Each structure stands twice: as C-alpha cells, then as structure tokens.
Structure 1
Amino acid sequence: MKLKNILCYVCVYLIGYVGLAQEGLPIYTDYLTDNYYLIHPSMAGAANCSKIRLTARQQWFGQDDAPKLLTLSANGRIGDSPSAIGGIVYTDKNGYHSQTGAYATYAHHLMFSRSEVDLNMLSFGLSAGFIQYQLDETSFLNGAPVADPIISGVVQSETNFNIDLGFSYHFLDFYAHATIKNLLNNSGVNNDIEITSNLRRYLISTGYVFNKYGSTWSFEPSVLFQYKEGTQEAIFDFNAKAYKQMDFGRLWGALSYRQSLDGAEYLTNSGTINSQKLQQISPIIGVNYNNFMFAYNYTHQTNSVVFTNGGFHQLTLGYNFSCRKERYDCECPAVN
C-alpha cells in the first residue's frame, strides 16, 4: 500500500478512534442478550424477574491496546409497585482513551389492560450518571520537548454528568422503545471538538414475537435505528431471533446485521477514490438454564478496508432473581 494511502487511512481511523472513545456507553448488539435495559432505561423492572447481567467484550485479538468493554447492570421492581430501579457500571478502554461510567435508573410502568393476562403496558425511564474520561499522553512525546501545546504529556482526566430518558410500549407480542441518550452537552478531554461535546444519540427499536399455538418455537424479528446528533450518523440494526422452549429453560440464537447510512472515502492503490459504509454481522447463541443465562456474541466487519480481520468477541452472564409467576398470556421473552 502506498504511503499516502496509509496516511489517509490512519487519519480516518484516528478521527473515529477519538470519537468512539468518548461516546459514553457504546452500543453493540449486547441488548439482544436479554438486556434491553442496557440501552433503554424504561426497561428497568419491565420483566417478571429482577436481572443481573455481566458482559465482557474484546475486539481484535492479538492487537496491542485493542478496545475492551466491561458492563455490569442490575434492575428490578420495587416490591409489588409499578416502580423500578436499576444501575449500570462500565469501563471501556480504547487505545490511549478510556472511560468509566456509572448510572442509576428510575422507571415507572403503567398498565392499561384490566388484568395482567393481556399485556398492555407503557413504561417511562430516566437514568442519571457520571462518566470519567481519560487520555493517556505519557507516551506521546517519548522524551522529546513539547512541540504542540495541545499535547501535555500527562494523563488528562475529566468527569461529566449526563442523563438518558426514554419510554417503552408493550402490547401482547409487540413492543417499541424510544430513548435519548447523553441528553446534556459533554466536555470530556477534547472539549474543543464538536463530535466529543455533543454525544446525544436517539434510539428507536421495535419488534414482534411470532408463535404458533402449542409450538415450543417462537421467532422475533426486530429493528433498531440510532442517530448520532454530533456526527449526524445514522445506523440500522436488522435482527432475527429464534427461541426453543426446553424443560430446563430456553435455547435461543440470533443474527444481527448492522448497516451505517454514512460512508467514509479512501484512496485505493490505483489512485481512485472509493467509499464504504460500516457493515457488521453478529451471530449470537444463548441459553437460559433455570435462573441463569449465558450468551456468546461474535461480530465480523464485512467491509473491504478494515483495521484487522479479527472479529469482536463478547460473553454475557446473567442471573434472574425475585421472580414472580408469568403474568402475561403472550410470547414476550423480554417481559415474561
């Protein structure tokens, strides 16, 4: 590859590198591992059980300082009331950038049906928390004198407060969610850059669970749309999920396809300018065994120009507790 091609690619990569490192809690496909609360605060306490979910994500095995993400979330109802609480802590390291965050959530669920047999529920949720950003510049200078006033040669750190709010609606086997994340402006450690000060992200997702009467199989197509206000990026997730009811619990699998509507240009070896849009495919397998849940998620980027051919691996462990009897006459795994 020619030097100018390499420099062009590195510049594009670094711009995305800085932006992603300060986006708040990253949104991958871990919400499909029975963890919609991770992206929608209104889903706190929506299910019959209180839930704990631990996820670990590793990108680009074999690469130094490859992105790593750990999240721990818990949510559940407050007794028999329609109110619920939840919490999320996470740490995300991306090269020289890292962030650590903690959120607390309050949600309220309104039943419109006369009984709990027919699911007709509107939910509201609000999350508030702090994110600490760090930029390690200690290796930038390598003993050389400071030539750029932007580079301090130390570990820069900044802590920001932010809030997420959203709502969910469940009607029998249908559901829809809408959430605004990072509602407030953000300073971070690059507060002179618009893409890191405005982290507002709009999420809309909807889906339906199909089940034939008497069958142990059910199928759930869904779609997630997200829009990043600061960078004006639009992304779609198209998901398909299948469940098999077993004596011990449930086996399930999913396939998610992510497509960005915005592309990036790059220079080819022949000197022509091409463009590509983010494309990812993520198969997921999981099992619910009694009150425990385990899932494995692999993400492969299908673009022709990538940083590495290695994929992204993610494990999710979960535990359900304080479970109540299934209340709704529907195949709605996120709620029942």
Structure 2
Amino acid sequence: MKKTQILILLLLLTFSTKAQELTIPQLSQYIADNPFLMSPTYAGVGDHIKIRLNGLTQWVGIENAPDTQTLAADARIGNRSGLGMLMYNDSNGNTRQRGARVSFAHHLTLDRYDDEFLSLGISYNFNQFRIDVENFRDENGQIPTDDKSTVNHNFDIGVLYRLDKFYLSVNASNILPKDLETFNPTFEPNTLRNYYAYTGYSFSKNKNSKIEVEPSIFFQWFESDGRSVTDLNTKVRFHDYEDYYYLGLTYRFLNDQIGTPLYVAPIAGLKKNNFYFGYSYQVITNELLGYSSGTHVITVGMDLFQGISNCRCTY
C-alpha cells in the first residue's frame, strides 16, 4: 500500500473514532433558558410555545473546528403533556452529522399547593453521520467512490422532579448501540449510552425582590469509557416586571481533574417581551489555549401564544 493510501486510511479511521459520537455537543447551551435542548422532560414546561435557535462555534482560530447549529421548539399539548422537536447540523473537520429529535413529556401534579410536580419524558433520535470523502484523493488524484455514511436511530428517556423552585432531572441518552457496519467495528466505540443529572434551585431575598440567584449542577457520565464531566453554574437574574436580565458563570471540569477546568464561561442574556437572547463565551484553559481564543455560544428565541395552558405544572 502506498503512502497516500495509508494516509487516507489513517485519516478516515481517526475521524470515525475520534469525531462526533452521533450526538450534538452538550456544552453550556442549556443554561440559556433552553433546558429542553438537554432533556425531553422539559417539553411543554411553560404556558407558551418556546422556540430557540442556537449557534455554537468551538475553538475560534482553529481551521475546521467543530461548528453546530440547532433549532428547538416545544409546546404544551392539553394541560398535562408536551411535545418538542430539535433539529441540528454539526460539522467537525471532514465529518458531518445532521439529525432530529422528537420528544414527548407527561407532567403530573403531586401537590398543587406546594407546587410539587413530576415529569416523564422520552425522545426518538434520528442521526445521519457522514465523512466527506470528496476531500480526499487516492494515488491517482481521484476521489474515493465508497460513501462513508451511516444512519442511526436511538432513544432518550428522563425524569424531572420539581418542588417550588427546586428541580432535579435524571436522564439516559442514546440507550441503543449504534450501527457499525459502514465503519470499522474493531476500533469504533459501539456504546453511546451516557447518563446525566441536572439540578438547581432559585432563591431570592423575598417575594418582592427583583434579584434572583440560581446555582445549578450538571453531571454527565459516559458508559463506553467511564469518563465524566461536571458543570458548576451560577446565574443571577434581575427582574423588571415580566422581563429580566441575567449574568452568570459556568465552570466545567473532568471529574478526575477538578482543579483543571476544561473551560470557564461567563454568560449573559435577557428576556424582553417575548424575545429572548443569550450569549456565552467559553474561555479554554487547557493546551488548546495557545491555538484558540475560545468558543462562542449564541441563543435567540421567541415565546409565542402565552397562556395556552392554565395548569400550575406549566410554570
């Protein structure tokens, strides 16, 4: 085998094993008042139709760095159920993935006087993963004719518990193994299951206070290799009647390297009338710092048709 063929083989192997894992990157997008992006249990939480458009540009300054766009929408169906849909487009070097997620959640009222609720959610996931073979050439300068692409179907499940301003969400994602027939099953990880929990609490000095503080924690564990990450978040909201503005900070780290964060991300945003805007800049603190200035995360959205449900579990 000639050097060119060996190089192409190594590149294909590298992209198939080290690139996307048939899921969208889960960074700080969920903090931008967009928890449905993370868990199906949030579908229909709110008395309106929520639409969020998110753009994630990682490792600014590095060529062909990961870039992701998502469009999410969810709404209440009746008084106790919700539907949601997420569409995404993700690129990473010479790999591409596109997909969609359709979610259903059912919300139960455990105690209407203490605002105690339990939500159950499930998602069906569709993903198309592809390697851009047209960017490669063989020893004759020809584009490879075999199409390196695969389609996978999967499911997420979750439970959300809320008591007043406390919340705890526990989820399992990509619970089925993925299709390896197109790639090399010897080197390609088969298990994509990961488990994650998201919990937090909002508190203020009193009911009339215009300042609200919300600390939260996100923990995620990957079954395939046992790695896990944690986000420590703090958000401060400044209320102006029905509008609000917020500032916050996220600290992400591998759980075996607590003192060495993957990034530190200041966040800011606002809700004005029915319009929403959020921004986060993730400052890289590892060895990529010498090559990249960081990661930009932008979220814009609208809340439509407020008051479509009068159940307290929508709040």
Structure 1: gaps spanning 5 or more residues: 1-10, 264-275
Secondary structure at the residue paired with 1:112? strand
Check 1:63–1:114 CA distance in 2 against 1; reply closer, same or farther (3 A cut): closer
Which position in structure 2 is the counterpart of 1:58? Answer: 57
After TM superposition, give the deviation of residue 155 of structure 1 in Å. 3.9
Distance 1:328 1:56, change over 3 A: same
CA deviations over 1:174-219 (Å, ceiling 9, x no partner)? 1000010101001255451566421111011111111111210000
Query: In structure 2, do the counterparts of structure 1 residues 49 and 39 end up closer, same or farther at CA, with 3 Å as the change threshold?
Result: same
The CA deviation at 1:313 is 0.6
Match of 2:6 in 1: none
Q: Equivalents in 2 of 1:248, 1:111: separation in Å?
A: 25
User: CA shift at 1:300, angstroms?
Assistant: 1.3
1:33 partner amino acid: A
Structure 1 stretch 173-182 or stretch 41-50: which is displaced more?
Answer: 41-50
Q: Is 1:257 paired with 2:256?
A: no
CA 1:170–1:159: 2 relative to 1, 3 Å:
same
Select the residue among 295, 298, 301 that pairs with 2:281. Answer: 298
1:236-285 Cα deviation digits (max 9, x unpaired): 0000000000146100112000001257xxxxxxxxxxxx9652111111
> Cα 1:221–1:114, aligned 2, differ >3 Å: closer, same or farther?
closer
Q: In the alignment, is residue 106 of structure 1 matched against residue 98 of structure 2? A: no
* TM-score (structure 2 length as normaliser): 0.87
From the superposition, tell whether residues 259 and 62 of structure 1 become closer, same or farther in structure 2 (CA, over 3 Å). Answer: closer
Match of residue 7 from structure 2: none
Structure 1 residues 109, 328: closer, same or farther in 2, change over 3 A? closer
Distance 1:306 1:335 in 2: 42
The letter of the residue matching 1:197 is: N
Question: Deviation of residue 335 (structure 1)?
Answer: 6.0
CA RMSD of aligned residues (A): 2.8
1:33 alignment partner in structure 2: 32
Equivalent position of 2:127 in the other structure: 131
| 1:95 shift after superposition | 0.4
- Report % sequence identity: 32
Deviations 1:112-158 (A, max 9, x none): 1145xx31100000000210000123333354589xxxx95644111
Q: How many residues align?
A: 301
Q: CA deviation at 1:22?
A: 2.2
Match of 1:238 in 2: 232
Are the aligned partners of 1:123 and 1:169 in contact in 2 as well (CA < 8 Å)? Answer: yes
Task: Quote the residue 2:159 is aligned against.
Answer: 167
- Counterpart amino acid of residue 249 in structure 1: D
What are the ranges of 5 or more consecutive residues in structure 2 without an aligned counterpart? 1-9
* TM-aligned CA deviation for residue 169 of structure 1: 0.5
Q: Name 1:281's counterpart in structure 2.
A: 264
Q: How does 1:1-336 map to 2 (within 5 A)?
A: 18-79=17-78, 81-115=79-113, 118-144=114-140, 154-187=146-179, 189-190=182-183, 192=185, 196-213=189-206, 214-247=208-241, 249-262=243-256, 279-304=262-287, 306=289, 308-324=291-307, 336=315
2:38 alignment partner AA = I
TM-score (normalizing by structure 1) = 0.81
Pick which of 26-35 and 53-62 moved more: 53-62
| Cα distance between partner residues in 1 of 2:218 and 2:247 | 18
CA distance in 2, matches of 1:130, 1:197: 17
Compared with structure 1, are the counterparts of its residues 113 and 186 closer, same or farther at alpha carbon in structure 2 (3 Å cutoff)?
A: same
